[in-house]
Structure 1
Amino acid sequence: MFLLSSTRIRPHHKLLFRHFLKNMAECFVFDIAESLLRKLASYVYEEASRAYGVYEDLRGIKDTLLIVKGVLLDAEEKKEQKHGLREWLRQIQNVCFDAEDVLDEFECQNLRKIIVKASGSTRMKVGHFFSSSNSLVFRLKMSRQMKQVRSRLDKIAVDGNKFCLERIDVDNRLVQRREMTYSHVDASGGDKSLSVIPIVGIGGLGKTTLAKLVFNDKRMDEHFQLKMWVCISDEFNIRQIVVKMINSASANASASAIALAHQENIKNLDIEQLQSRLRHKLSGQKFLLVLDDVWNDNRAKWIELKDLIKVGAVGSKILVTTRSNSIASMMGTVPSYVLEGLSMENCFSLFNKWAFKEGEEKKYPSLVEIGKEIVKKCRGVPLAVRTLGSSLFLNFNLERWEFVRDHGIWNLKQEKDDILPALKLSYDHMPSYLRHGFAFFSLYPKNYGFTSAEIANLWVSLGLLRSQVGSQKLENAARQRIDELYSRSFLEDFQDFGHLYYFKVHDLVHDLALYVAKEDILLVNSGTRNIPEQVRHLSVVENDSLSHALFHKSKSVRTILFPIEGMGVDSDALLDAWITRYNFLRILDVSDSSFETLPNSIAKLEHLRALSLENNRKIKRLPRSICRLQNLQFLSLRGCVELETLPKGLGMLINLRNLFITTKQSILSEDEFASLRNLHTLSFEFCDNLMFLFRGAQQLGSLEVLIVQSCRSLKSFPFHILPKLEVLFVIRCEMLNLSLNCESPIHKLRMKFLHIEQCPRQQILPRWIEGAAETLQTLLISNFHSLEMLPQWLTTMTRLKMLHIVNCPKLLYLPSGMNRLSALEDLSIDGCLELCQKCEPQSGEYWSFIAHIKRLSIGETRQRNLLFQMQKQIRLKLHDL
């Protein structure tokens, strides 16, 4: 679920940020107070507070918080000048978080009552009466806790009077989203022998982009037998680099939207076996190797790696990107290519592109002149230019432009050529709902490939994304926020795959997110001596030194993650201690752990929203107590290959939205799944014994996403019980016949996204797809080795936007009438040799049918005129590569 990787703060970055980022965490206080006020004002909590006799305290908290909120923005502006103001802000943040925990108790109590009532069990009702959930006991507890919160908040409000703060209203400036562009550049592997060419420049200047353009130039394929791309980033770990090189060299590129390259299973090999495997792959090969974002200045480590890869053929080359001239000198065998900033002319052209619609700048000559002054401060750095331009897009207010030009952040001391003030300025102008969510990108490693689904799960689990009655779905709300972050240039390598987005976060943007959240988020490594009391989100990047002593001060942790693949918690006692200590956990991701049993005490985490036990290969059973986690929205058992059965009572998880299952079970309890009224996404992976998903008539009325992967015994599909299904993945199911019992009559479907891959019993596309003629937007067909033709009814898909056909070698024809697919914007055909030839530009017999499509990928040929022009310029600069 939330698979992470190590992220460390570099010493020189600490120095750099000290001048203007050291106190950025306070900007959250206003956002947190605003979020809490929305909750306090909701009808649900108002009614609950009346029912339990705490309405007056709730109203008092709301009134006091409204007064405090009014002066928070002024407090944030003056915290540097007034002694004690920063501590005052921290106290407000803590009491807001504690108040939210108390309010969530109402929700927990309500869910408990629903479960007890629905069960009809006398035993459960008796147990509820004698537990702490008894209404009288709960009333007394809530009364005490609400009075404590109110008292603390009243005291903080009185203490704030001594700072003479002024009320500042919020200017909710909204940036209009620009149309999404498609400028993605693929990154794969490379190959060469020991001529090392460094590319040097400050962060955000375009070193990686330049390397990608060279790496993906078609002439490189002709010049090198092997290419490898390795992102180094923070740690120059020889073993990790060797693994990445082997995987990069072995990866097979696929045009499928979400298909990942199948990589060799080399994780368990020791370094001796790995270096042998690498040298075997490189031996006698002329290769190009890109080492991207190198920070290592340890010459011994570099020589160690260089010695491992000396076996390549003459003419092999290594392309290195780094921000450090000294590292470039240490590694390079030729003079460094020092990447310079854009010229003023090009900078201003780029700025205009992002700040105005085409030609619109002519209407605003005064803004153009201010824009030139803003561009000067960006020092030729594309990321800074683009970010500031985006923040002003379609905003023609003169004062706003002058504010960006004259903002005092530009006068703060900073390192030479630093561009982070530009990012900070754009961050300050985000709406509060974006700022808070943005900070949590720092939980993930640099160069991490995000999907919109995992970010949506993270935001929902932390209460940053909520749905109102009658409003848009949570997943759509998350995509809208991602759209806006992309429009503000905080995301890169952005791709829309129909069902989901894929994107990355620029290194400097990642640094910004890390500092924004630094008081709330802690990365636990071997240097961590204790967990501070105020920390609420833990990411364990090294577990060698984990012990109870680390955690004795902390008590308010809401998130525990293990970021490194293959590394989880290996102590049952420590896991039990966390469950006992952190009663308000929202996210517990213990993927890749090795405990054999989950403690019964898991039921204490009644606020838990997300639980991932992914890739725990020892766990055989789950305690029934897990079914008492009524707030749970995300549960992943994916990769738990020894799990014998799902826990009885699964249907009690009435809030569950996402469920990922691997089990040895052959029969599923249909009653349990039918009780999951909010289930949105359901996944079955590596369920080898499962022959049928569901055979009864009970509908899964809320299910919209179904993923079935590597279920080798599965025979058929229950479309009749999935009335709201919109997304379907079917991958590597050897026995599955998708046409079985589904051909007649054709039922109308709501499906928008369909991915079918490697189902050997499927020789034709199933006819039921025709039932989605009015809704299907994305169709991905991969590894259909027997597929000979596409059905004529495919041309009736009036809303189809994306069609990818990969590795269907017998497919020779496109259906007539392809031009009727008027909505089709993205067509990719690869691994279909004869069909690809018929689709060749100009000469192919099908070219006239598809030439109008906006994005075409036919075999190795891609229609990307702008990219071609950029590559041409780069080749001129690097003609001696």
Structure 2
Amino acid sequence: MDCGTAVVVENIISSLLETLSEEVVSPMLLEFARKEKLHNHFNNWQTILLKIQAVLEDAEDRQFTDRFVKIWLNELKDLAYDIEDVLDDFSTVALRQKSKEESQTIIGKIRKYVYSFFDQFTFKYSLAAQIKEITARMQKVVKQKDDLGLIERIGGSRNRGQRRIASTSLVNKSLVFGRESDKDFIINKLLFGEEESCEGGVRVIPIVGMGGLGKTTLAQLVYNDDRVKTFFKLRAWVCVSEEFDIVRVMKTLLESLTSMASDKNDLNELQVEVKKKLSKNRFLIVLDDVWNENYNDWMALRSPFEAGSPESKIIVTTRNQPVASTMGTVPAFQLKEMSYDHCLSLFAQHALGSTNFDNHPNLKVVGEAIVKRCKGLPLAVKTLAGLLRCKTGYHEWENILNSKIWDLPEKNCDILPALKLSYYYLPSHLKQCFAYCSLFPKDYEFQKDEVVHLWIAVGFIHQPKGMKEVEDLGSEYFHDLLSRSFFQQSSVSKSCYMMHDLINDLAQYVAGEVCFRLEDKVNSNGQYNVSERVRHSSFIRQKYDVFRKFEPFYKTKCLRTFLALPVFVPDLEVECYLTNKVFQDLLAKLGCLRVLSLTGYCISELPDCIGDLSHLRYLNLSRTKIIYLPESLCALCHLQTLDLSHCKNLTKLPQGMGNLISLHYLNI
């Protein structure tokens, strides 16, 4: 069951009301609305949306026990997205009309695209027909609301909108409780374990435990201990992850050992270089988050390690005992749940800024009860504590403890109840921002500005009048999620961030059908299972991306995000090629796109039809071989972000760049 659906819908409706309120009273749209006799319709929509919003909290609670309420919420979500698209159409027409009237410098090609849009909008998608359809659907939703008996909760009990300062908990992010003896045990194995038998090879120490227990944290504590740094001449850290790629692992290992980027992609060359570097040296290698239990793959991977000193060691962290059995040369270290007392200290530290409840004795009993329900998992403890940070009201804590989510049936769902709760009680403005990050694969490292620009482009961040810039507001949202442990800083680069595997699973869970990663939707027959409800999508860029890969996108009538991602970061030296049919045919059918990223592809030009993507806010052509941009690009009056960084072949920009009146960020 998707516990996040109702809350995401609530935020969409709230955003719609804000958009309606701002756009209807803006001189530009007001003039357009009066000219087209739309003003009364907009007011009617506002009234209906307010009625719907008043019952959302009741619907949110009832969805767990009434499947018809859940169906109603899904229909409401689809309706909300469609209203946004129609409003965006209105805004586009008004903006282009105003620009056409005021500007004397618009070139003929831009004018042609403006008129082309008017023809399409006026005749193919008549305003009257769209308004009539939306109004009928809204009235149907209101009637269903009444039939379901949903009740209004004006000024409901849950406070969702309050934002807090996000940076305070970062000071304590690195604090670890209750793992000192575990750390000493592993270090003892590293420094004094030579007597244990190992048949002609490097000793491998597996650390095994379920997700969220802190295996990676324990390995990091060991890796950075002064005794370990002194004992081992060379140290290297590699995050292996679910997708086992021996070339990537070897390349990352070589770069970690040499502290230099490598341009090699041949396995033999990489292994020769690694072997040279390790030869006769005492080294420690950490292979973090290993899933592959194939013995032959492990034998291929370990061959360069034999060149090191006999005292060398490898630490492997994994959730799977078969992996430990395949790779380990000593019995695996089974990481246990954290003790209750240490969990309580961890919880108090992140929730109250202290390791005890001395300053908040009224919260001690309820806090202890919440910690007990986390069952010794540090990730669950820390995430729930982040949710309650700076909240010192007893009833807020009691609501978390008594939530129905703890008792939901776990059939076909591996998401920890504590993590569901951490999402469920997030402030509403953060919910869809977090769910959108389900587009990123596990272990994908992202930068703050990259994510913030995407959030802005898809309409998750609105700029209140008289307040800070949307980019600053987006940065606050990002750091808020970081401080609540939904994001974590990369161990490789301080400028990059990532999500824990279980948090990534949570993001996919709450995003439901709205977001999808193409590679995750392949069935046993090699066919893609894609819902028509999809709004945001991502896919891993491959060396040769043929048209068959993109056929599922023809089902997505209202796709807003088309996001190409690298196989791993960085992969700047890999040349990737994209079928021309994406440009010739597919793009023209994705008329609702707001985000288009083709970064890293060997493309030299864009088709003229790019100017027909009237909703587009974000265009990333970085690291492509683009030579020039078509003049039609300048018809994109909503375009906010244009990334042309590392486009070494780019010779000129369109003459009409000044007509990109919404452009905030241009990177060349």
Q: Structure 1 residues 85, 372: closer, same or farther in 2, change over 3 A?
A: closer
> Does the CA-based 8 Å contact 1:569-1:593 persist in structure 2?
yes
Which is richer in helix? Answer: 2
Residue type of the alignment partner of 2:250? V
Alpha-carbon RMSD: 3.1
Shift of 1:82: 3.2
Give the whole-Å Cα distance in 1 for the aligned partners of 2:602 and 2:79.
37
**Equivalent position SS for 1:560:** strand
Give the whole-Å Cα distance in 2 for the aligned partners of 1:309 and 1:468.
57
Question: What is the match of residue 81 of structure 2?
Answer: 97
Shift of 1:622: 1.9
Matched, 1:33 2:31: no
**Equivalent position SS for 1:309:** helix
Give the whole-Å Cα distance in 2 for the aligned partners of 1:596 and 1:37.
42
Question: What is the match of residue 560 of structure 1?
Answer: 562
> Does the CA-based 8 Å contact 1:229-1:291 persist in structure 2?
yes
Give the whole-Å Cα distance in 1 for the aligned partners of 2:202 and 2:114.
75
TM-score where L is the length of structure 2 = 0.85
> Does the CA-based 8 Å contact 1:58-1:146 persist in structure 2?
no
Residue type of the alignment partner of 1:157? V
> Does the CA-based 8 Å contact 1:452-1:478 persist in structure 2?
no
Q: Structure 1 residues 94, 411: closer, same or farther in 2, change over 3 A?
A: closer
**Which residue, out of 494, 501, 506, partners 2:500?**
506
**Equivalent position SS for 2:481:** helix
Give the whole-Å Cα distance in 2 for the aligned partners of 1:280 and 1:381.
41
Matched, 1:250 2:258: yes
**Which residue, out of 241, 245, 248, partners 2:249?**
241
Give the whole-Å Cα distance in 1 for the aligned partners of 2:97 and 2:293.
61
Give the whole-Å Cα distance in 1 for the aligned partners of 2:335 and 2:84.
49
Give the whole-Å Cα distance in 1 for the aligned partners of 2:455 and 2:447.
13
> What are the residue-to-residue correspondences of 1:573-592 with 2, within 5 Å?
573-592=581-600
Matched, 1:467 2:442: no
Shift of 1:78: 2.6
Matched, 1:181 2:170: yes
**Which residue, out of 647, 663, 667, partners 1:660?**
667
Give the whole-Å Cα distance in 2 for the aligned partners of 1:434 and 1:586.
20
**Equivalent position SS for 1:41:** helix
| Percent identity of equivalent pairs | 35
Q: Structure 1 residues 172, 22: closer, same or farther in 2, change over 3 A?
A: closer
> Does the CA-based 8 Å contact 2:610-2:632 persist in structure 1?
yes
Give the whole-Å Cα distance in 1 for the aligned partners of 2:283 and 2:114.
72
Question: What is the match of residue 605 of structure 2?
Answer: 597
Question: What is the match of residue 159 of structure 2?
Answer: 172
> Does the CA-based 8 Å contact 2:641-2:666 persist in structure 1?
yes
Shift of 1:320: 0.7
**Equivalent position SS for 2:159:** coil
Give the whole-Å Cα distance in 2 for the aligned partners of 1:129 and 1:197.
65
Question: What is the match of residue 541 of structure 1?
Answer: 540
Question: What is the match of residue 351 of structure 1?
Answer: 347
TM-score where L is the length of structure 1 = 0.66
**Equivalent position SS for 2:578:** coil
Question: What is the match of residue 524 of structure 1?
Answer: 518
Shift of 1:333: 0.8
Give the whole-Å Cα distance in 2 for the aligned partners of 1:64 and 1:429.
26
Q: Deviations over 1:83-119 (max 9, x none)?
A: 4433322221112111111111232223323432453
5+ long unaligned stretches in structure 2: 176-189, 192-200
> Does the CA-based 8 Å contact 1:620-1:643 persist in structure 2?
yes
Question: What is the match of residue 622 of structure 1?
Answer: 629
Give the whole-Å Cα distance in 2 for the aligned partners of 1:457 and 1:212.
32
Q: Structure 1 residues 132, 613: closer, same or farther in 2, change over 3 A?
A: closer
> Does the CA-based 8 Å contact 1:54-1:143 persist in structure 2?
no
**Equivalent position SS for 1:583:** coil
**Equivalent position SS for 2:367:** helix
Residue type of the alignment partner of 1:54? L
> Does the CA-based 8 Å contact 2:616-2:638 persist in structure 1?
yes
Matched, 1:116 2:100: yes
Q: Deviations over 1:138-181 (max 9, x none)?
A: 89933332222112221232233322222234432437447243
Q: Structure 1 residues 622, 436: closer, same or farther in 2, change over 3 A?
A: same
**Equivalent position SS for 2:37:** coil
> What are the residue-to-residue correspondences of 1:468-867 with 2, within 5 Å?
468-493=464-489, 502-525=496-519, 527-541=526-540, 546-547=547-548, 549-564=551-566, 565=571, 566=574, 570-617=578-625, 619-661=626-668
Residue type of the alignment partner of 2:518? V
Q: Deviations over 1:473-516 (max 9, x none)?
A: 12211122123223323232389x9xx97533222212111111
> Does the CA-based 8 Å contact 1:185-1:493 persist in structure 2?
no
Give the whole-Å Cα distance in 1 for the aligned partners of 2:317 and 2:111.
67
Residue type of the alignment partner of 2:147? K
Question: What is the match of residue 226 of structure 1?
Answer: 234
Give the whole-Å Cα distance in 1 for the aligned partners of 2:590 and 2:47.
30
Give the whole-Å Cα distance in 2 for the aligned partners of 1:612 and 1:416.
37
Question: What is the match of residue 86 of structure 1?
Answer: 70
Please say which structure displays the higher CA radius of gyration: 1
Q: Structure 1 residues 224, 387: closer, same or farther in 2, change over 3 A?
A: same
Q: Which has the higher contact order (CA 8 A, sep 6+)?
A: 2
Residue type of the alignment partner of 2:268? E
> Does the CA-based 8 Å contact 2:169-2:350 persist in structure 1?
no
Residue type of the alignment partner of 1:199? I
Shift of 1:608: 0.5
**Equivalent position SS for 1:486:** helix
Question: What is the match of residue 715 of structure 1?
Answer: none
Residue type of the alignment partner of 1:636? D
Residue type of the alignment partner of 2:41? D
> Does the CA-based 8 Å contact 1:175-1:392 persist in structure 2?
no
Equivalent pairs, count: 621
Question: What is the match of residue 147 of structure 1?
Answer: 132
Residue type of the alignment partner of 1:534? R
> Does the CA-based 8 Å contact 2:382-2:485 persist in structure 1?
yes
Question: What is the match of residue 437 of structure 1?
Answer: 433
> What are the residue-to-residue correspondences of 1:10-409 with 2, within 5 Å?
21-22=1-2, 24-42=4-22, 43-44=25-26, 45-46=29-30, 48-121=32-105, 124=108, 127=112, 131-133=116-118, 137=122, 141-169=126-154, 170=156, 171-173=158-160, 174=162, 176-177=164-165, 179-182=168-171, 194-251=202-259, 262-266=260-264, 269-358=265-354, 361-362=357-358, 364-409=360-405
